[in-house]
Amino acid sequence: MSLSLKGKTCVITGVRSLHGISCASVFLFSHEGATLLLLDFSPENLPELKSKIENSYPDMKVTTIQANAANETAIAAVCEQALQDESRLDVFFANAGFASNKALPDLTTEGFMESMRVNALLCFLAIKYSSDAMMKTNLSRGKDISGGSIILTASGTFLHLFRITIYVSNKTSVAGLRSGAGTIDCDASKAVVNSIAKTKVYQLQKTDIRINTICLCLIKIDMIKVMFDFARQRGRENKDRPIEPDGLLQRQWSFNQLLLSLCIPPP
């Protein structure tokens, strides 16, 4: 245990799945010594997740909150709770999201706007309220200057639309940047996430608050688990790569290393 996040307070959204990216990040951050506030719309697995963290890392503090990550009151409240309970906020990982499966003929106006609300609005709220909290200092907790890291999960399927500096976990992610995979509403909402990050990073100059989007290629998470299950049933799990044109698969360990590097301030 390197404890690279010891003394840091981190918020992570979208932690319901026990097999998803956020769940893996929860254990990673706990392993590195962070104090955690975990938020998800569904209470389904929150008690089990909290119990697993406390059993694995009994010295670490973890709080679970049932709330909607796209709700302004909820995001403002979790950032305020970090300041009230821990006197600082250092990392906000906005990973909650939604992926639709509607082709254009079946996509309604309401469905399109719901993807925008869930995927784009929640990132706007995360940046708005977490950046304000990260600018708060507290000498007693060792934070004497403004600073922090805001990390947003986006997608690599639309980035040819933007000239934006992003982080990808390895060169295989680039293969999906122009693939056009996914639905119109999902890809458009994730494009908005990158645009928000690109604009806000200029507005946060000289605050030592970093904003990054992570644009993943295909990775085994519950959101697209059905695709892997179908491939496994056909005996083609290692052959079917319908989204990634180079046929390569994102590995969780490489994502973890990327995520951790974005949490730690540069020397």
How many angstroms separate the CA atoms of 186 and 180, rounded? 11
Tokens of 84: 């009230």
DSSP 60-95: S-EEEEE--TT-HHHHHHHHHHHHHHHS---EEEE-
Give the lowest-confidence range in 42-56, 127-141, 214-228: 214-228
What's the burial of 50, exposed, middle or buried (CB within 10 Å: 0-12/13-18/19+)?
middle
pLDDT tens digits for range 185-230: 777 777 788 888 888 888 888 899 999 888 765 555 554 555 555 5
* Mean predicted lDDT score pLDDT of the chain: 77
Beta strands in the chain (DSSP E): 9-13, 35-40, 62-66, 91-94, 148-155, 209-216
Global pTM reads 0.80
Structure-block tokens of residue 255? 């994502």
